[in-house]
Amino acid sequence: MRKFKVTIEIMPLKSVVDPQGEAIELIIKSKKEFNASNFRVGKKIEFTISSTNKSECEKNVNKLCRDFLVNEIIEQYKIRIENEKN
Amino acid sequence: MKKINFGIIQFPGSNCEQDCYYAISKILKQNCKYIWHDSESLRGIDCVVIPGGFSYGDYLRTGAIASQSKISSRIKDFAKNGGTVVGICNGFQILTELKLLPGVLLRNKFLNFICEDTFIKVENASTRFTKLYEQGSTIKVPIAHAEGNFYLTKKELASIKKNNQIMFTYCDEKGSVYEESNPNGSILNIAGILNQQGNVLGLMPHPERASEKILGNTDGINLFKSIVSFLN
């Protein structure tokens, strides 16, 4: 078994209203200092996992995301897998 | 009439279980017990109530962690075998995470926690949860939530409309449903829905908090009375 470091980036789907992003944008725009828009707020989850190889690891992490960590009605996710440094 | 056995599920962070217990045992005089989330048995239970609160601190997503607990898989089996399940507020959120109900509850449109009386329209009075209400009637029931903005895909929305699964919608005092009578941004003003089989209900308003005259409002008690009547 090998150990992998996993990072999951979860973002609200484009089709779902993101009131947190909208609230941030409202404040940023009121400051008139930056010309920034399209704010979206998501979350990042990190953990380590043991698997026989990288593709097995990817399969397990995808299952974990679909079963629990991500709600695909409203969210999308990206996975990054690296070898865990000892 | 026989006494019905209600089981109220307690998760770490549940905080409306005593209100439900009081309404069911003291006002309706039915049998009622608490069931801790770590339990694996629903033996002898006729109706499962998942109360409001902030199970597991609302971490990850509201209801997501509770949906993975031991008792939740028992609730899933119970519901699949036709058992009566009602989820109120956080209980509704848990039922969507359990996939026993379609959709999801998002943050309220204006991000605020809303705690106030709302008027809701009984859209479907021919179910085990609403049979003692009049079809199309307006009742006053309080809400208290930050994530009550019901959302689901267009395809699922068409499906729940077709199957008469929309149970309650936010309306004004006269029963009109429109944008201004929507407190949280819910799609089609939806406040509560039923599963396709008709045995699982989720709603954001708190009927247990509108169940006794001394509190100034008894509009919610008929929901529990309907269940008792149906199970008899």
Question: What mean pLDDT value characterizes chain A?
Answer: 93
Nearest to A74 among B60, B68, B104 (CB): B104
Chain A nearest-CA distance from B17, in A, is 25
- pLDDT per residue, tens digit, chain B (232 aa), is 899 999 999 999 999 999 999 999 999 999 999 999 999 899 999 999 999 999 999 999 999 999 999 999 999 999 999 999 999 999 999 999 999 999 999 999 988 999 999 999 999 999 999 999 999 999 999 999 999 999 999 999 999 999 999 999 999 999 999 999 999 999 999 999 999 999 999 999 999 999 999 989 999 999 999 999 999 9
Any idea what DSSP says for residue B40? -
Q: With an 8 Å Cβ cutoff, is A41 touching chain B?
A: no
Amino acid A86: pLDDT:
63
Q: What is the pTM of this model?
A: 0.92
Please provide the size of chain B in residues: 232
ipTM of the prediction: 0.79
Report yes or no: A15 and A80 within 8 Å, Cβ to Cβ. no
pLDDT at B128: 98
How much is the pLDDT for A31?
85
Minimal CA–CA distance to B205: which of B166, B170, B172, B160? B170
Q: How far apart are CA B190 and CA B201, in angstroms?
A: 13
Q: Distance (Å, rounded) from C-alpha A52 to C-alpha B27?
A: 58
What pLDDT digit, counting tens, does each position of A15-47 carry?
898 888 988 998 889 888 889 999 999 999 999
| B64, two tokens | 């997501």
| Bridge partners of residue B120, in order along the sequence | B139, B170
Task: Provide, as residue numbers in chain A, all residues whose Cβ is less than 8 Å from the Cβ of B151.
Answer: 16, 73-74
Q: Is residue A85 pLDDT above 80, yes or no?
A: no
Helix (H, G, I), strand (E, B) or coil at A64: helix
**C-alpha dist (Å) from residue B125 to B48, B197, B222:** 20, 15, 11
The active-site residue, picked from B37, B145, B171, B206, is: B206
CA B165 – CA B193 distance, rounded (Å) = 5
Q: Would the CB atoms of B151 and A73 count as touching at under 8 Å?
A: yes
Give yes or no: B206 in active site: yes
Beta carbon pairs, A and B, within 8 Å: 28
* Under 8 Å between Cβ of B132 and B171: no
Domain ranges of chain B: 5-231
The token duo for A38 is 């399209």
Q: Which residues contact B39 (CB under 8 A, 6 or more apart)?
A: B70, B71, B74
Top CATH class, B5-231 = alpha beta
Largest CA distance in chain B: 46
CB contact (8 A) between residue A68 and residue B68:
yes
Looking only at the bridges linking them, the beta strands covering B138-145 and B114-122 are antiparallel
